[in-house]
Amino acid sequence: MTAKTSTTGYERPGMTALLQVQDLSCSLGARQVLRGVGFQLQRGEVLGLIGPNGAGKSTLLRCLLGLQRVSHGGIVLNGRALANYGRSELARTLAYVPQPKGAGMALSVADVVALGRLPHRGLSSAAQDAEVVLDAIEAMALAPLALRSVAELSGGERQRVLIARALAQQTPLLLFDEPTSDLDLQHQLAAMQRVRALADERGASAVIALHDLGLAARFCHRLLLLDGGRVRACGAWPEVLTTAHLSAAYQVQVRVGTDAGVPYVIPLRPSADPLSAVPFARPSGESRHAHA
Amino acid sequence: MTLLHAVAGTAAREVPAPPPARAALRLALLGVQHRRGLWLAGATGVLAFVALLSVSLGVGSLGPARLLWAAWAALTGTFTGTPAAQPISATEWAVLADLRLPRTVMAIVCGAGLSMAGVAMQGITRNPLVSPYTLGISPAAAFGASLAILFGWAQWPLWGPYLTVAAAFSTAMLCAVVVLGLATLRGVNAVVLVLAGVGLTYLFGALTASVQFVASDQQLAAIVHWTFGTLNGRTWAEVAVAGGVWLLCLPVLLAHASAMNAFAGGGDDVAASLGFAVGRTRALITLAAVLSAAAIVAFTGVIGFVGLVAPHIARLTIGGDHRWLLPFSAVSGALLVLVADLIGRLAFAPVVVPVGIVVAFVGVPLFLHLLLTRRHEMGST
């Protein structure tokens, strides 16, 4: 797949965004995790959520899911406030792939993928559901494992099962938390290509938290760089993956480039930025962001 | 042939089978459903047969044929309870109606109820160590019963036996309320729940031990005998109470089979993202599970082991889909208790070995066998 990531002005005028996040703040206990985050997601757009550990990526996803209480700001989905959605209606609009944790109880791969059809109970026939489940199983190349217990699988195989379950949910918006963390190179490509194809061909949208910046640049229309709970940069990858942004956010010097059209990011050495000497000495984060 | 298989084929000597085509996969998935249905139907048939054996065998056996004849006569109203041309004598009828039938029904309710409670609790906590026993409910019931025995409530005329049961039920529910409160707290995961259960088990164990310490020899014997877990002397009234509570909880558990799948297969966040109200659903399932378990162990004593092992035996046999697992675990749990009781009654007749002891002897070898032969399906973490 060639990188189509140079589409800068992706926002199509005249269309309301699928997802609008305005000035979102959120606290976990006494710690403020998100501070005034705002962005829009268009239909058919894949947004890559990047940033260092603890930047607030997972918390942002949980806010979008309605699992996390928001202390300030609003989330508007399809023109309606997220809080006004009923549970099953939301489950037919949003699918979520969490970071894999443990095998859980021994359900078969097909059983787990079929969970994605639960929000559609009573709205689609059993035969229809079975076909959608088969589609999702095949999309993630899980057919040879379909009858096996999830508990027997490797971490990467389990992650593909989680993705297939979300695909079976057939939602216009998909939220992924590090979907490629346990995947080998082949399945990283396959998973990202699948998501991108859903967006390009069927108009689905996705928000994907990723640590692999090269993968994010290659498959996401836009990137959103979170740092200390704030948006440091948002836009097409050449605007976001600059040495200035990355060394400020990650405190490492990087080389960013493309090879045969495929973007890559190589971490070189700890940043020479004077602030990197005191990476935790940012009481409110105000001073850093002011000069950034 | 996908790239994965091409690569695997060159690396490993045995080439994995190519991925089955869609039609084959569809067929295989249907086959799984059919196998599950067959297992459930087969186990139910075996349970019916063992129940018939349980009613007919004992001191003074009634042949199954005569028994069925008697049942037919009773159903059609031609049986009057008088001898002569009747299939069974009045004494035999009394043994049947007042001893063996309630005992058999109680064994079924006990096995099915504890097993389903275990499946439900294990499913929503995603933890294979959870059961009514490991959450402290059975030890709590034992403490209540031992209190009743110590203070002589059990000896009171007329109400005595019921006071023991009431005391056992009260302490079991007290423990259940603590567990329920913990389960509904946000951020309490399965590990916290299991550890709290271990703590409660030891607490109630220590309380029972303190009662035993001050009890007289006669009381001590009664307490120890209660904790063995027994189906001796079950009356229809007791069966009605325990069975009634179970029948109330049964539809609640069955209706939440899909929710249990979501919890077991994906965890709390995935269940929420699939549209389930996590806190409320978990509280309701836990309530139904601990209520039925408390109502059962209050009458039968500590047969809590069934609630831990029968779910695993069922899961290893039929798979983790709770829509099949719940009914199948009920049948297999009932079968386990019924067979154990039958062996306990017949092996050293006329001495009856308490069912709580025999269940371990019957269930553990089967459990270990399944565990060791199919350990990979249990998973690592």
- Mean pLDDT, 10 residues at a time, chain A of 292 residues: 39 66 87 89 92 90 88 87 88 89 78 91 85 89 87 86 92 91 88 89 91 91 91 89 87 87 86 51 43 40
- Strand-pairing partners, residue A253, are A269
Residue of B96 and B32 predicted with greater confidence: B32
Residue type, A100: P
B167 Cβ contact list (under 8 Å, min separation 6): B144, B145, B147, B148, B153
Cβ–Cβ below 8 Å for B32 and A110 = yes
């757009």: which residue's tokens?
Answer: A45
Q: How many CB atoms lie within 10 A of CB A20?
A: 17
Tens digit of pLDDT for each residue in B280-310? Answer: 888 889 889 888 888 888 888 777 678 888 8
Q: How many CB atoms lie within 10 A of CB B21?
A: 11
Report pLDDT for B81.
52
Report pLDDT for A289.
43
Report pLDDT for A70.
87
> Is A162 among the domain residues?
yes
Cβ–Cβ below 8 Å for B270 and A144 = no
- CA angle B158/B161/B166 to nearest 5° reads 115
Q: How many CB atoms lie within 10 A of CB A127?
A: 8
* Closest residue in A to B375 (Cα–Cα): A152
Does B137 have pLDDT greater than 60?
A: yes
3-state DSSP assignment of residue A187: helix
d(CA A63, CA B172): 39
d(CA A132, CA B29): 13
**Token representation of residue A136:** 């999702």
**Sorting pLDDT into bands at 50, 70 and 90, what band is B157?**
low
- Chain A residues near residue B25 by CB distance under 8 angstroms: 134, 137-138, 143, 146
Question: In this complex, how many residue pairs, one in chain A and one in chain B, have their CB atoms less than 8 Å apart?
Answer: 137
- Chain B residues near residue A107 by CB distance under 8 angstroms: 261, 264-265, 319-321
* ipTM of the complex model: 0.81
Does B329 have pLDDT greater than 70?
A: yes
Helix/strand/coil (H/E/C) assignment for every residue in chain B: CCHHHHHHHHHCCCCCCCCCCHHHHHHHHHHHHHHHHHHHHHHHHHHHHHHHHHHHCCCCCCCHHHHHHHHHHHHHCCCCCCCCCCCCCHHHHHHHHHHHHHHHHHHHHHHHHHHHHHHHHHHHHCCCCCCCCCCCHHHHHHHHHHHHHHCCHHHCCCCHHHHHHHHHHHHHHHHHHHHHHHHHCCCCCHHHHHHHHHHHHHHHHHHHHHHHHHCCHHHHHHHHHHHHCCCCCCCHHHHHHHHHHHHHHHHHHHHCHHHHHHHHHHCHHHHHHCCCCHHHHHHHHHHHHHHHHHHHHHHHCCCCHHHHHHHHHHHHHHCCCHHHHHHHHHHHHHHHHHHHHHHHHHCCCCCCCCHHHHHHHHHHHHHHHHHHHCHHHHCCC
Q: Percentage of residues in chain B with pLDDT exceeding 70?
A: 79
Mean pLDDT (chain B, rounded): 80
3-state DSSP assignment of residue A212: coil
**Structural domains of chain B, with CATH:** 107-378 (1.10.3470.10)
**Sorting pLDDT into bands at 50, 70 and 90, what band is B78?**
low
- Chain B residues near residue A68 by CB distance under 8 angstroms: none
CA distances from A94 to A111, A129, A231 (A): 20, 18, 23
Ramachandran assignment for B126, one of left (phi > 0), alpha (psi -120 to 50 degrees), beta (any other): left
d(CA B34, CA B36): 5
Stretch B211-228: mean pLDDT, rounded? 83
Tens digit of pLDDT for each residue in A65-91? Answer: 888 888 888 899 888 888 888 888 899
Helix/strand/coil (H/E/C) assignment for every residue in A145-186: HCCCEHHHCCHHHHHHHHHHHHHHCCCCEEEEECCCCCCCHH
d(CA A35, CA A70): 11
Rank B92-101, B171-180, B239-248 by mean pLDDT and report only the highest: B239-248
3-state DSSP assignment of residue A31: strand
Does B191 have pLDDT greater than 90?
A: no
Cβ–Cβ below 8 Å for A186 and B22 = no
**Residue among A66, A110, A115 minimizing CB distance to B274:** A115
d(CA A160, CA B27): 22
Report pLDDT for A154.
84
Cβ–Cβ below 8 Å for A144 and B16 = yes
Best residue in A94, A105, A170, A176 for a mutation probing chain B (most B CBs within 10 Å): A105
> Is A139 among the domain residues?
yes
**Residue among A94, A147, A150 minimizing CB distance to B32:** A147
Does B84 have pLDDT greater than 60?
A: no
The domain total for chain A is 1
Smallest CA-to-CA distance from B47 within B361, B246, B274, B339 is with B339
> Is A154 among the domain residues?
yes
Report pLDDT for B222.
81
Cβ–Cβ below 8 Å for B377 and A107 = no
Stretch B45-61: mean pLDDT, rounded? 82
Domain limits for position A132: 100-170
Interaxial angle between packed helices B278-300 and B137-150, expressed in degrees from 0 to 180 and rounded to the nearest 10: 40
Report pLDDT for B112.
94
**Token representation of residue A55:** 């930047």
> Is A165 among the domain residues?
yes
Report pLDDT for A146.
87
Report pLDDT for A3.
40
d(CA A280, CA A271): 14
- Chain B residues near residue A146 by CB distance under 8 angstroms: 25, 28-29
Cβ–Cβ below 8 Å for B25 and A130 = no
Verify cis geometry, omega within 30 degrees of 0, for the bond prior to B350: yes
- Chain A residues near residue B122 by CB distance under 8 angstroms: 105
Cβ–Cβ below 8 Å for A143 and B19 = yes
Smallest CA-to-CA distance from B326 within B145, B52, B104, B124 is with B124
Q: How many CB atoms lie within 10 A of CB B158?
A: 7
**Token representation of residue A102:** 């443990």
> Is A3 among the domain residues?
no
> Is A126 among the domain residues?
yes
- Chain A residues near residue B378 by CB distance under 8 angstroms: 106, 151
Q: In what order do the strands lie in the sheet with A19-28?
A: A31-41, A19-28, A72-77, A80-81
Run of H or E including A243: helix A243-250
In Å, how far is B114's CA from the nearest CA of chain A?
19
**Token representation of residue B211:** 């009662």
Report pLDDT for A12.
46
d(CA B142, CA B228): 10
CB B115 within 8 A of CB B331: no
Report pLDDT for B43.
94
**Token representation of residue A232:** 């440091």
CB B214 within 8 A of CB B150: yes
Does B46 have pLDDT greater than 90?
A: yes
Residue type, B209: A
Residue type, A64: L
> Is A135 among the domain residues?
yes
**Residue among B17, B20, B273 minimizing CB distance to A91:** B273
In Å, how far is B270's CA from the nearest CA of chain A?
7
In Å, how far is A201's CA from the nearest CA of chain B?
23
> Is A262 among the domain residues?
no
CB A182 within 8 A of CB A204: no
Smallest CA-to-CA distance from B124 within B322, B318, B304 is with B322
d(CA A148, CA A131): 19
- pTM for this entry: 0.82
CA distances from B242 to A52, B106, B132, B255, B291 (A): 56, 8, 15, 21, 10
Question: Residue B330: exposed, middle, or buried by beta-carbon count in 10 A (0-12, 13-18, 19+)?
Answer: buried
Report pLDDT for B38.
94
Report pLDDT for A2.
40
Task: Please provide the distance, in angstroms rounded to a whole number, between the alpha carbons at the two ends of chain A.
Answer: 34
Best residue in B5, B119, B191, B273 for a mutation probing chain A (most A CBs within 10 Å): B273
What does residue A108 show for φ and ψ, rounded to 5 degrees? Answer: -80, 160
Q: Which of A235-249, B57-71, B214-228 has the lowest mean pLDDT?
A: B57-71
Question: Residue B282: exposed, middle, or buried by beta-carbon count in 10 A (0-12, 13-18, 19+)?
Answer: buried
**Sorting pLDDT into bands at 50, 70 and 90, what band is B232?**
confident
The answer to whether residue A23 neighbours chain B at the CB level (below 8 Å) is no
- Chain A residues near residue B119 by CB distance under 8 angstroms: none
Does B173 have pLDDT greater than 50?
A: yes
